Amino acid sequence: MYTMKQACTAAEMPYETLKFYCNEGLVPNVKRGENNYRMFDEHDINWIKSLACLKKCGMSIAEMKEYLALCLQGESSIPQRQVLLEKYRLELEKKLEDIKKQLEFIDWKQGFYSDVLAGRVKYHSDLIAVE
């Protein structure tokens, strides 16, 4: 069993975030130890890691609650979960393409600067007149 702090470490999540998720009902069936402190098992840790991933994918708290409700329904809700996750997959693919384009620009610009510094090309700027 994990304490709240240990669960945060295992899930790489800030304490405040995990507490918020618990208070919002996103971590179901939380067990209580001595002094009524929250305790987590391996299943909880895996679920908490899933929540962290869903948040990084851009899911809102309301959508995470919807996903949790579907998960709690069991196998019958898998098609609905797939639809929900596919939406985020498509959004992430778009973001990835945008990031690739931004990296290509930076690589091109770095190459240009290297060529200027090595004397292979003459410097020019779109911002200032260079004679």
Q: How far is CA 45 from the centre of its chain?
A: 16
Q: Which residues pair with 39 in a beta bridge?
A: 31
Mean pLDDT of 103-116: 97
What is the model's pLDDT at position 124? 85
What is the model's pLDDT at position 33? 86
- Which structural domain range is residue 100 located in? 78-131
Kindly state whether residues 60 and 4 are assigned to the same domain.
Answer: yes
Kindly state whether residues 49 and 109 are assigned to the same domain.
Answer: no
* Helix residue ranges per DSSP H, 31-119: 42-56, 61-72, 78-117
Kindly state whether residues 17 and 62 are assigned to the same domain.
Answer: yes
Contacts of 95 (CB under 8 A, 6+ apart): none
Kindly state whether residues 7 and 55 are assigned to the same domain.
Answer: yes
Distance, in Å, from the CA atom of 4 to the CA atom of 13, rounded to the nearest integer, reads: 10
Domains of the chain: total: 2
Task: Return the structure tokens found at 99.
Answer: 């990031």
* pLDDT tier, 13 (very low <50, low <70, confident <90, very high otherwise): very high
Does residue 63 register a pLDDT over 70?
yes
- CATH number, domain of 19, equals 1.10.1660.10
- Rounded to 10 deg, the angle between the 42-56 and 4-11 helix axes is 50
Kindly state the greatest CA–CA separation across the chain. 76
Distances (CA, A) of 114 to 32, 125, 130: 60, 15, 18
Taking the whole predicted model, whether its pTM rises above 0.75 is answered as yes
Distances (CA, A) of 108 to 4, 17, 117, 129: 47, 39, 14, 21
Q: What is the tens place of the pLDDT at every residue in 77-98?
A: 999 999 999 999 999 999 999 9
